[in-house]
Amino acid sequence: MPAPGSIDSLCASVADYLDPGLQSEIRRAYDFAVVAHGEQKRRSGEPYITHPLAVAGIMAEMHMDHQCVMAALLHDVLEDTGATKADLAQYFSEEVAELVDGVSKLAQINATSREHAQAENLRKMLLAMTRDIRVILLKLADRLHNMRTLGYVAREKQRRIARETLEIYAPIANRLGMDSIRRELQDLGFQMLYPLRYRILEAAVRRVRGNRKEIVKTIQATTTQRLAQEGPAGLVEGREKSLYSLYVKMRDKRHSLSEIMDIYALRITVDSADKCYRALGVIHNLYKPVPGRFKDYIAIPKANGYQSLHTVLFGPHGVPIEAQIRTHDMERVAEAGIAAHWLYKSGGERAQHRARVWLKGLLEMQQDAGDSLEFLENVKVDLFPDEVYVFTPRGKIMILVRGATAVDFAYAVHTDVGNRCIAAKIDRRLVPLSTPLENGQNVEIITAPTARPSPYWLNFVVTGKARANIRGYLKNLKREESIELGLRLLNRQLLSYSLTLDDIFPERLQFLLKEFGLENLDQLLEAVGLGNRPALLVARRLVPDREAKEEEKKLEAGDSARQPLRIKGTEGMVLTFAKCCRPIPGDPIRGFVTAGRGIVIHTERCKNLAEFRGRPECWTEVEWAEEVRAEFPVEIRVDVENRRGVLATVAATISDTNTNIDNVSLDDQDGTICSILFTLEVRSRYQLAHIMRRLRTLDMVLRIVRGKH
């Protein structure tokens, strides 16, 4: 019999399902890895090759194909030896080389921190996984063996790897339905991250195990007997919950161990889905079910393809027992997840399909994420799905994260639906877009062709896909608005030279772009629009020296053709109105160019302008356009006599002027006088003056002042 942990042992384990010719390919990969790793040792002092062999053994347990087993043997050669991806492609195949490259860390990362480097490597692996799902199976097997042997590394590294395992790899295993690997990763991670808590909890469970185990044995025997009598005979097993799941339950619900009674679970496996429901009836007749604790994951499977009936029973002596009822195929998929596809050649298709749907979502998030940290943040959100099940108007089931809103639902249906949604109906009733969804609801999204995502949505969406799409849309929108504003600012400066951007020689423009390190004109205009490059300086660099000198003479003589920038109110996110003075059309205004934010508009009398007086290069002349159609927030303080119904009277008077009230706050000064602060949305100073005149006609109004902060 071959020695455990040897190449002979590995070949013996794959002999059950691989042809002898493929086994010889695995031996070739082993020989290559042995030579490549040479005298390298693990922290334990063992030859390094023992680790790839162990990972390949885990792959063999899953009945993975020969290429995956070969990649497991070779998975560290790109990182730790002089071998290259081209070498692997030449000696083995392009497919093996891609698998190994997918699990290899990036050799050179210009990362600003360890967190950024970790995020960049995880992004690389997850994107490789979207091309070939076997990459993540390899990485999970690699991480599982590393966790089993983590005791040999330094304590700080133990904690870092354990935390990463609990935050990333165990949730990925759960997302892919690989329950057995998920449980082991969680318990090993818990043991390494919190060794004292682990030992205390383990000892406490051991103390209460005796009595509980006898109760479970009694229930197991009684249930087996009753199932045999009633017809749907099946295998009944008693299982102890993992220490990590107990710890999480104690931590999240703030319970002691004595308050968590379902330490043990009963699992019943039968031949068919029909018998699952019959078995459920049998055990509900035998032991009373706990109300509200039944879940049907057969009719509505979990996002990872998991199927089972869950119920909680009042057992003997009042001890609640969780029971899970499923078919043998469901049991195999529950334990192996997507690996069931290779392990059993059947039963894993549902998990495979759902995994690919999730991976498609990962690709979308990658395209919209700003950097690897943002991408990783969005992935983490999707890795902890406490699920809610809702229906589309056509009856299709959608599975979302608990706490998901109507906007999350819209993006789950399709990105375009999310981008264009304006309202939502839940069970045929109009609700705010921020409304959290609940199980069983029917959700309908109302869209409009001209609608677009709002930055406010980021305050309540919870799914990674929705967050990534909203951020990506707003980022592109801001870029387009920056380019448009930059063009206006630059042309306004060039106008003083009697030029426009179209009059600039392409050679001069290309020279300036090269000098600034920019690729195209849009990047230059975006930098100008965002305030990162002053339009005045860019204009001076674009015009010939002769025109620039003539312009300077005109400026000295007080003669300038430069026109102020006309503000329309529709410039978008690259032009903001200061909250300190809240300018509205009709107010004299000044513009201040702020790097990264574009232009900030203040009133000329704003007190906050004093600190900017010494920076004239950042000022830009602005004025209101003749037609401004947007509405602007403005604050007014109304001092009134404190009497019954005064707020309703004042608000109704404002509303009669066809003005929207955005916010109201009250300040009771001395019991007889009350100050009401209104935030109104107005189109001009004339509208504001009209509102104030109407309010002064009320006998309870003592004073009206426009707020200036």
Which are the catalytic amino acids?
A: 79-80
Q: How many CA atoms lie within 13 A of 182 on its CB side?
A: 22
Give how far the C-alpha of residue 653 lies from the chain's centroid of Cα atoms, to the nearest Å: 45
H or E segment and range at residue 296: strand 295-296
Do 275 and 264 touch, CB atoms closer than 8 A?
no
Concatenated DSSP letters for 554-575? Answer: HHHTT---PPPEEE-S--GGGE
SS3 531: coil
Concatenated DSSP letters for 272-293? Answer: SHHHHHHHHHHHHHHSPBPTT-
Q: Which of 544, 547, 575 is nearest to 561 (CA)?
A: 547
- CA distances (Å), 491 to each of 345, 504, 536, 573, 600, in order? 67, 11, 10, 20, 19
CA-to-CA distance for 119 and 513, rounded, in angstroms?
32
- CA distances (Å), 90 to each of 24, 37, 94, 100, 669, in order? 17, 19, 8, 14, 84
Pairing of strands 421-426, 429-431: antiparallel
Backbone φ, ψ for residue 426 (5° rounding): -115, 120
Do 444 and 393 touch, CB atoms closer than 8 A?
yes
Q: Which token pair is 172?
A: 């990925």
Sheet of 632-641: strand order equals 660-668, 673-682, 632-641, 701-706
Q: What is the 3-state secondary structure (H, E, C) of 497-515?
A: CCCCHHHCCHHHHHHHHHH
Do 525 and 486 touch, CB atoms closer than 8 A?
yes
Q: Which token pair is 230?
A: 């009633």
CA-to-CA distance for 526 and 589, rounded, in angstroms?
24
